[in-house]
C-alpha cells in the first residue's frame, strides 16, 4: 500500500462520507422518534398490519415481529433506510474509486509516479473499506443512543451487534461488486445512476422472491436476502451460509479487480 495515495484518496472522499453519514443518521433518528407513540398504540397498528396481503406480511416478517418491540420496530422501519442508503453510498464510492482516475484524466500523472498498479488498487481498496467501517461505526452509535432515548426497556447487546453487522455485510458485498465494476467504467457521470440502479434492482429482486414463491430463486441474486433483519432478530444469529457468500463474493471480485486492472489498457 502507498500511504500517500491512501491519504489522498481518503481526503478526496471524506466530504461525501460526512454528508451520507449525516443524512442517514438524521433519517434514522426521525424514524426512531416515532417508536414511543407507536408502541403505545400497538394494537391499532397490528390491526392495520392484519389487513395487508399475506405475501407482504411474510416478506417483512410482520407475522413474527412486532412494531411494539424495539428490535422489531427497527427491523421493519430503520433497517431499510440504512440498508438501502448505505448500499447506494458504498456502490458509488467503490465503483468510482478506480474509474475516476481515468474519468478525471489524473491516471497519467498517478502512474508516472513510482507507484505500481498493485499499490494503486490496494490503497484504494483500503480507503473504501475505511470509509465503510467509519460509516457503520457512527451509524451504530447513533442507533444505540436512539434506542436508549426512545425506550426504557433493556435489550440484548448480542442482538444489537448482530443487527448492526448486517448492513455492514450487505455493503461489503455491494462494494466488492462496485470495485470490480470500477475497472470497466471510465466516465464519472455514469457512476451514481448506475450504482442506484444496481442497488434498487437487487432490492426488488429480493422483494419479488419473497412475494412470489415461483420466483424464490431470485433471492440468491440479492445481498439484502442474505442478511434479513427479521431473521437475525428471530434467530439471534447470522446464517453461516450468508457469511460464506459474503467472503466468496469479496474474494472473487477483489481478485478479479487486481488481475484485470493490472492488464488493462488505461484510457489517458
3-state SS assignment for residue 200: helix
Contact 147, 160 (CB under 8 A): yes
CA dist 127 and 7 (Å) reads 8
Contact 225, 207 (CB under 8 A): no
CA dist 141 and 57 (Å) reads 30
Amino acid 52: pLDDT:
62
Contact 184, 190 (CB under 8 A): no
3-state SS assignment for residue 167: helix
CA dist 68 and 209 (Å) reads 27
pTM: 0.89
Amino acid 92: pLDDT:
92
Contact 227, 75 (CB under 8 A): no
C-alpha cell at 209: 422472491
Which positions of the chain have pLDDT values less than 70?
Answer: 1, 44-64, 101-113, 265-268
pLDDT tens by residue, 13-53: 889 999 999 999 999 999 998 888 877 777 766 666 666 66
Give me the sign of the Cα torsion angle 180, 176, 252, 224: negative
Amino acid at each position: 500500500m502507498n500511504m500517500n495515495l491512501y491519504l489522498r484518496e481518503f481526503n478526496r472522499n471524506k466530504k461525501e462520507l460526512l454528508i451520507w453519514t449525516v443524512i442517514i443518521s438524521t433519517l434514522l433518528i426521525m424514524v426512531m422518534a416515532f417508536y414511543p407513540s407507536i408502541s403505545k398504540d400497538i394494537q391499532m397498528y397490528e390491526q392495520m398490519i392484519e389487513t395487508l396481503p399475506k405475501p407482504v406480511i411474510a416478506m417483512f416478517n410482520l407475522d413474527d415481529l412486532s412494531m411494539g418491540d424495539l428490535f422489531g420496530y427497527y427491523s421493519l422501519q430503520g433497517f431499510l433506510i440504512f440498508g438501502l442508503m448505505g448500499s447506494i453510498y458504498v456502490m458509488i464510492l467503490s465503483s468510482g474509486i478506480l474509474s475516476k482516475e481515468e474519468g478525471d484524466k489524473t491516471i497519467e500523472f498517478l502512474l508516472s509516479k513510482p507507484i505500481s498498479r498493485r499499490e494503486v488498487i490496494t490503497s484504494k481498496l483500503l480507503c473504501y473499506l475505511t470509509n465503510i467501517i467509519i460509516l457503520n461505526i457512527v451509524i451504530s452509535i447513533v442507533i444505540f443512543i436512539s434506542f436508549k432515548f426512545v425506550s426504557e426497556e433493556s435489550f440484548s447487546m448480542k442482538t444489537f451487534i448482530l443487527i448492526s453487522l448486517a448492513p455492514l455485510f450487505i455493503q461489503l458485498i455491494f462494494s466488492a461488486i462496485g470495485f470490480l465494476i470500477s475497472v470497466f467504467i471510465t466516465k464519472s457521470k455514469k457512476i451514481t445512476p448506475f450504482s442506484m440502479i444496481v442497488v434498487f434492482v437487487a432490492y426488488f429482486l429480493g422483494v419479488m422472491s419473497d412475494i412470489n414463491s415461483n420466483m424464490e430463486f431470485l433471492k440468491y441474486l440479492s445481498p439484502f436476502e442474505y442478511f434479513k433483519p427479521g431473521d437475525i432478530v428471530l434467530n439471534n444469529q447470522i446464517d453461516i451460509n450468508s457469511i460464506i457468500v459474503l467472503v466468496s463474493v469479496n474474494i472473487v471480485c477483489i481478485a478479479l479487480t487486481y488481475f484485470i486492472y493490472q492488464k488493462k489498457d488505461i484510457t489517458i
